[in-house]
Amino acid sequence: MSSQLDQLFAPVNDDGRETTLDRVFQVDEEPNNVEAEVQLLCSLMFRNDGFDQVADLLTPDHFYDGALGRVYGAISALIVRGDKANPVTLKRVIPDHTDVVAQIAGCDIISVMNNVEYARIIINMWQRREMIRIGRIMAEDASSGDMLDDPHGIREDAEGALFALASGTQTENGAMSLGDFSRSSLQDISEGIDAARRGEVTGVPSGLTKLDELLSGFKPAQLIVLAGRPSMGKTALALSLSYNAARDQTKRKTGAVAFFSLEMSKGELIERLFSSVSDLDYTYINKRALNDPDYGRLVKAEDTLRTVPLYVDDRAAATIARVRTECRKIARKSGGIKLVVIDYLQLMSGGNAFRPGDRYALITELTMQLKQLAKELHVPVLVLSQLSRKVEERDDKRPQLSDLRESGSIEQDADVVMFVYREEYYLERAEPVQKANESLDKFGERYTQWQERLSIVQGTADIIIGKARGARIGSVRCAFLGHRQRFSNLERVA
């Protein structure tokens, strides 16, 4: 056995050749299909109308042959600006590749019907080359450095690169000219206009009409902070938003929702969702005080919930690295991810990099990394946050940006800051008591005013938009059904 191990880890074989371990990532010729590249370019050169079939699939970087990729880029540029792409115009645009253009033009003209198939072959070969490249980088990183170095960073880099490859995106594009991304941005605006005309929001919908009117949904790469004092219903609101987003699977907004619960268990969360979906009182579910018809409603609610792509991770002390890894797993499993929710910020862990008492530095680092995560995954990240006790010391309990706990970086890094505020909660705890020397009539007047105000705000909550990049700030009043653990539009509540 020991001789087999010695042979496995020996640097060279007896004949002096490198071992299999050293040759793992040495490929004589990387995967390619130059014939498919040439045939596609020939088809596009003589039939420009076939370009639309592959415009959203291919980029010049997908081509194995750099010269052929340059020709594709020139064809793309000519057609996009409304010019003809043919051997004559291409030779003027790329004079240093006239011989390549001539060789392509000499091929037999291929039916436009084959364009998509050729594009798929080209992308398939590119993906294989990228896998080899990622493997080489991982092998080089793993073989270098001190033996006690933490390998998690190497694994995360490799996972990120593979996730980007699986998602159809390339990593490390670096600086790009305006022309490199202006067309895709214009297309995104056009799709947004069409969606707005159909009455849809451009981002991930919250399910709350007035909130979507203010924000147009939650946008990709946004960091959204939802803050509030205890008992305001932060988790109930986050669950409502998550469930609404996961249910909406329209063409432009497919994908799963990832919910990271650092405070409540999966069991607690699913019972809250049971209450919301079945329209049963949460207290009865919690106490298991249900009759047979009520239980039947729970069964129907479970049938509904099991079809909703909402994933819950209730492990404690989550780190950014774990959230990132889990999101990639969910995206691979469900075919994409559309929203990440974390409940809540102050319970997240910074690993071993921060001293236990250094909360300011930890929160600052966490909010910065959450914003980076939103950009990396290109999805909105909604994180819940506590508010400082300063709110309770004021007569006006409505929260404001200065109430965010422990770090001004929350306000700085967030694209959107929302507060949930329930005036009913404070009014119920401020029932008037007759003062000394106060007449009964005066007290009765105060008590009547209190009752009238309580009746107005009962069963409601305000979502206050304190900050919104590219959108309007304001306040949205919605229905809060605490016994159903649900936030909804006011007009939908009887």
Q: Which of 69, 71, 107, 109 is nearest to 89 (CA)?
A: 71
**What gap in Å lies between CA 187 and CA 208, rounded to an integer?**
27
How many residues are present in the chain?
494
Q: What single letter denotes the amino acid at residue 140?
A: E
pLDDT digits (tens, 9 = 90+) for 74-131: 998 888 777 889 999 998 889 888 899 988 888 876 555 578 888 889 989 998 888 8
pLDDT recorded at residue 257: 93
Structure tokens that stand for 113 in this block: 């019907």
Chain centroid to CA 134: 23
pLDDT recorded at residue 477: 93
Which has the higher per-residue pLDDT, 192 or 336? 336
Has residue 490 got a pLDDT over 50?
A: yes
Q: In this predicted structure, which of 115-119, 199-203, 368-372, 421-425 has the lowest mean pLDDT?
A: 199-203
Chain position carrying tokens 């969606």: 195
Q: Is the peptide bond before 344 cis (omega within 30 degrees of 0)?
A: yes
Has residue 311 got a pLDDT over 90?
A: yes
Q: What is the DSSP string of 23-47?
A: HTT--SS-S--HHHHHHHHHHHHH-
Q: What single letter denotes the amino acid at residue 155?
A: R
Has residue 132 got a pLDDT over 80?
A: yes
Q: Which fold has domain 204-421+459-492?
A: Rossmann fold (3.40.50)
Residue 467: strand pairing partners? 417
Q: What is the DSSP string of 339-389?
A: EEEEE-GGG---TTSS-TT-HHHHHHHHHHHHHHHHHHHTS-EEEEEEB-G
**What gap in Å lies between CA 211 and CA 32, rounded to an integer?**
50
Residue 477: strand pairing partners? 462
Query: pLDDT band at residue 224, thresholds of 50, 70 and 90?
Result: very high
Q: Which CATH class is domain 1-174?
A: mainly alpha
* pTM greater than 0.75: no
Mean pLDDT of the chain: 82
pLDDT digits (tens, 9 = 90+) for 144-189: 766 555 676 677 777 777 766 666 544 445 566 777 777 777 877 7
Common-topology check for domains 1-174 and 204-421+459-492: no
Percent of the chain with pLDDT over 70: 84
Query: Quick one: residue 54, left, alpha or beta (phi over 0 = left, psi -120 to 50 = alpha)?
Result: alpha
Q: What single letter denotes the amino acid at residue 364?
A: T
Residue 227: strand pairing partners? 385, 419
pLDDT digits (tens, 9 = 90+) for 11-63: 444 454 444 444 455 556 788 899 899 989 998 888 888 887 787 788 888 99
User: Domain-by-domain residue ranges, the chain?
Assistant: 1-174, 204-421+459-492
pLDDT digits (tens, 9 = 90+) for 327-339: 888 887 888 899 9
